[in-house]
């Protein structure tokens, strides 16, 4: 394992806590989890996670918000010190939250805002309500998601309708299955970041993806073993409930493809998977990672994170103005953006103060992502 940055996986509200409690049962050693809710009972039901944080006692007196988003927001706003203690020093925050209730929907945007202020990158896995929960709940989820978009780096939407099994599954099996789908995303990403591989996916790659993706991402994952496993895997990736038959890969302007296999993974298999999944599209920013893990002997597992939209980086036009970058080679290079930005007075000396180039706009120098 190669964990040089701190990754925290946080469950918010009833759905977030229940999902994380299920995910943690089979998670690799070294993953850091925390749960947060105003509902003490929810936290007590998840005793397998040590870090359980009850907030908003003065607002709900230890009960749930009963679907009141404003109460959820106040719970978070009244607990900024607790939030800061939790988020301080975190580099990547992965949050699992169900939108449509009160606590998770109200507190998620506040937490995203604080994490951003403390310099963390945030990826939200947001569970969206079933149709049958009604238009009021769906509207709450929609409104909360809009607020969340302002502060979160990226949101992976997980509509309950798609991540639950079809047919007459028992409710508990259904919840296990949805937690399993979420786990594949959260644990899969964590695993890729924490392995040194042949061609590993590092934090800078995820950082670039989170910086430039325009709020929403899709993901797909699959694991296959046995003869013809690469072909089986490609079919499963396309047929994943969140992959829209593979169209998310073809249209994506930014793509992270992470392959994990045992010592028996062949170059031909990796090549076959990438050639079938990555679009032959010069405009797509693609980063691939291949990790070898003895636990995956005989198997191949692939996780894909696909941006739905991409923000064009800004570059200096040479006349003191900033304009969108274009072209395949330049896309997605944050470092390039900073290097190419030059002073308005092209020939004059740059203004360097305490090692910082003040001719570069503050938001670029500090890598601040502007709110949408
Ligand atoms: N997949 C999954 N979805 C859930 C689960 N529990 C709730 N949901 C979904 O998540 C949405 C939000 O519900 P909760 O997370 O319980 O709400 P909360 O944030 O705790 O808010 P309040 O209880 O109203 O304070 C619901 O509308 C459901 O669609 C769960 O265990 N698994
Ligand atoms: Mg609740």
Query: How do residues 84-121 score in pLDDT, each as one tens digit?
Result: 999 999 999 999 999 999 999 999 999 999 999 999 99
Residue 141 resides in a domain: yes
Among 140, 175, 194, residue at a domain's last position? 194
- 273, 288, 307: which is the final residue of a domain? 307
Tell whether 73 and 171 lie within a shared domain.
yes
CA distance 177 to 235: 20
Residue nearest atom 9 of ligand 1, based on CA coordinates: 98
* Domain tally, the chain: 3
Give ion ligand 2 contacts, CB < 5 A: 14, 39, 64
Tell me, what's the pLDDT at 349? Answer: 60
113 in a domain, yes or no?
yes
Distance 102 CA to ligand 2 centre (A): 7
- Looking at residue 114, its pLDDT comes to 96
Q: Are residues 83 and 68 in the same domain?
A: yes
Q: According to the model, what pLDDT value does residue 248 have?
A: 84
The reply to whether 287 and 325 lie within a common domain is no
Does residue 300 form part of some domain? Answer: yes
For the chain, 372 residues long, give each residue's pLDDT as a single digit of tens. Answer: 555 789 999 999 999 999 999 999 989 889 999 999 999 999 999 999 999 999 999 999 999 999 999 999 999 999 999 999 999 999 999 999 999 999 999 999 999 999 999 999 999 999 999 999 999 999 999 999 999 999 999 999 999 988 877 778 888 888 888 888 899 889 888 887 777 656 667 778 888 888 888 778 999 999 999 999 999 999 999 999 899 888 888 888 889 999 989 999 999 999 899 889 887 767 788 888 888 888 889 999 999 999 988 886 545 555 544 444 543 333 333 333 333 333 344 445 666 666 666 666 665 666 555 555
**Distance separating alpha carbons of residues 325 and 315, to the nearest angstrom:** 6
Q: Does residue 224 fall inside a structural domain?
A: yes
C-beta separation of 18 from 101 below 8 A: no
Pocket mutation for ligand 1, best pick of 23, 44, 61, 98 (most atoms within 8 Å of C-beta)? 98
Q: Are residues 176 and 277 in the same domain?
A: no
Residues 236, 137 share a domain: no
pLDDT in tens, 343-364: 344 445 666 666 666 666 665 6
Phi, psi of 95 (to 5 degrees): -120, 135
Print the domain residue range for 73: 7-194
In this structure, the answer to whether residues 74 and 184 fall within a common structural domain is yes
Residues 141 and 29 in one domain: yes
177 and 209 together in one domain = no
Looking at the fold, whether 226 and 320 belong to one and the same domain comes out as no
Same domain, 33 and 178: yes
pLDDT for the residue numbered 336: 31
* Neighbouring C-beta atoms of residue 112, cutoff 10 Å: 24
370 assigned to some structural domain: no
Q: Do the bridges between strand 92-98 and strand 121-128 make them parallel or antiparallel, or are there none, so unpaired?
A: parallel
Which residues, 6 or more positions from 36, have their beta carbon under 8 angstroms from its beta carbon?
10, 11, 12, 13, 16, 17, 52, 53, 54, 55, 86, 107, 111
Ligand 1 pocket: which of 13, 169, 242 to mutate (most atoms within 8 A of CB): 13
pLDDT at 344: 42
d(CA 320, CA 338): 14
Q: What CATH number has the domain bearing residue 262?
A: 3.40.50.1440
In a domain, 2, yes or no: no
User: pTM to 2 decimals?
Assistant: 0.83
Residue 155 is predicted with a pLDDT of 94
69, 24: one domain: yes
Note whether residue 372 is domain-resident: no
- Pick the last residue of a domain from 283, 307, 331: 307
How many other C-beta atoms can be found within 10 angstroms of the C-beta atom of residue 344?
11
CA of 103 to the centre of ligand 2 (A): 6
Q: Does residue 90 line the site of ligand 1, with CB under 6 A?
A: no
Do both 283 and 236 map to the same domain? yes
230-250 pLDDT per residue, tens: 999 999 999 998 998 888 888
User: Using CA atoms, how far apart are residues 196 and 131, in angstroms rounded to an integer?
Assistant: 42
Alpha helices in 7-133, H assignment, sequence order: 13-25, 40-44, 57-60, 69-77, 80-87, 103-117
With b meaning 16 or more CB within 10 Å and e meaning fewer, what string describes 242-274? bbeebebbebbbbbbbbbbbbeebeeebbeebe
């Amino acid at each position: 394992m190669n964990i040089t940055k701190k990754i925290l996986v946080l469950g918010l509200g009833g759905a977030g806590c229940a999902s994380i409690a299920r995910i943690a049962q089979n998670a690799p050693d070294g993953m850091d989890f925390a749960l947060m809710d105003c509902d003490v009972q929810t936290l007590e039901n998840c005793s397998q996670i040590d870090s359980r944080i009850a907030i908003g006692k003065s607002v709900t007196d230890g009960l749930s918000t009963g679907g009141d988003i404003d109460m959820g927001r106040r719970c978070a706003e009244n607990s900024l010190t607790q939030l800061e203690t939790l988020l301080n020093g975190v580099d990547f925050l992965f949050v699992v939250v169900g939108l449509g209730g009160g606590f998770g929907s109200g507190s998620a945007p506040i937490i995203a805002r604080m994490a951003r202020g403390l310099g963390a990158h945030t990826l939200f896995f947001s569970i969206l309500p079933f149709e049958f929960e009604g238009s009021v709940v769906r509207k709450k989820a929609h409104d909360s998601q809009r607020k969340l978009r302002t502060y979160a780096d990226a949101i992976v939407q997980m509509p309950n309708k798609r991540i639950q099994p079809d047919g007459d599954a028992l409710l508990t099996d259904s919840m296990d299955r949805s937690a399993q789908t979420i786990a594949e995303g959260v644990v899969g990403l964590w695993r890729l970041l924490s392995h040194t591989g042949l061609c590993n996916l590092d934090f800078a790659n995820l950082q670039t993806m989170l910086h430039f993706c325009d709020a929403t991402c899709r993901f797909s994952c699959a694991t296959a073993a046995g003869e013809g496993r690469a072909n089986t895997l490609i079919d499963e990736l396309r047929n994943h409930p969140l992959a829209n038959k593979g169209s998310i890969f073809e249209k994506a302007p930014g793509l992270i493809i992470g392959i994990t296999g045992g010592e028996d993974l062949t170059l031909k298999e990796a090549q076959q998977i990438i050639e079938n999944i990555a679009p032959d599209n010069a405009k797509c920013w693609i980063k691939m990672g291949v990790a070898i893990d003895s636990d995956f002997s005989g198997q191949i597992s692939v996780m894909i994170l696909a941006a739905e939209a991409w923000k064009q980086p800004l570059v200096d036009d040479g006349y003191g103005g900033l304009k969108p970058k274009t072209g395949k080679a330049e896309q997605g290079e944050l470092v390039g953006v900073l290097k190419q930005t030059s002073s308005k007075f092209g020939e004059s000396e740059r203004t360097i103060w305490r090692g910082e180039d003040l001719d570069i706009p503050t938001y670029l120098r500090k890598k601040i992502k502007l709110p949408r």
